[in-house]
Amino acid sequence: MEQKEKKVQEMYMEFKMLDNYIKQLQSQLEMITHQLIELNATNSSLNEFAKLDAGKEIFVPLSSGIFAKASIKDTSKLLVNVGANVAVGKDIESTKKLIERQMEEIKKIQKQMVNDLEKMTHHAAQLEMKLQGMASEE
């Protein structure tokens, strides 16, 4: 009887660990999906920006819900952050290509995470069924 209780405890611990891992994966998947949405919006904004003429007045966000009026001086170049507070000038097409590459990378990661999540969920469901079966035997 003691051996069976130990087995049930081990399976329950494994189930709880899987449950925590599944929740972490779901949270990470949600963040990645949000990143994709943001990159998609950036891509759309770049398409709209490409249609603007120099001198066009726009609103520039300073913070959440706070904007300033500004005029576009050059519609052919953008400043792109490359890390460590360094920005480089890029044209719209190369910036769009950069965004598209980032989106493709994120989609690959997203696909792998969905795969992992499906495997973990399936394994957790099997463990739960075994645990329920062992509990009903008593």
One DSSP character per residue, 6-38 reads HHHHHHHHHHHHHHHHHHHHHHHHHHHHHHHHH
Q: What is the CATH number of the domain that holds 46?
A: 1.10.287.370
If DSSP codes are grouped into helix, strand and coil, which group holds residue 81? strand
For 120, the token pair is: 């973990």
Q: For the beta carbon of residue 40, count every other beta carbon within 10 angstroms.
A: 12
Question: pTM, whole model, 2 decimals?
Answer: 0.79
Distance CA 73, CA 53 (A): 9
Structural domain count, the chain: 1
Return the half-sphere exposure (C-beta side, CA atoms, 13 A cut-off) of residue 68: 5
* Band (1; pLDDT cuts 50, 70, 90): low
In this structure, the number of other CB atoms found within 10 A of the CB of residue 134 comes to 15
Q: What's residue 62's pLDDT? A: 94
User: Does the pLDDT value for residue 74 go beyond 80?
Assistant: yes
CB neighbours of 39 closer than 8 A, spacing ≥ 6? Answer: 99, 102, 103, 106
* Chain segment 51-68, per-residue pLDDT in tens: 999 899 999 999 999 999
Q: Which domain holds residue 115?
A: 2-137
With bands split at pLDDT 50, 70 and 90, how would you rate the model's confidence at 36? very high
Question: Residue 87 corresponds to which tokens in the numbers above?
Answer: 């920005």
| Model confidence at 89: pLDDT above 90 | yes
Cα–Cα distance list, 75 to 14, 58, 82 (Å): 56, 12, 20
With bands split at pLDDT 50, 70 and 90, how would you rate the model's confidence at 138?
low
Bridge partners (DSSP) of residue 78 are 90
**pLDDT confidence of residue 59:** 93
Whether 79 has a pLDDT exceeding 80, the answer reads yes
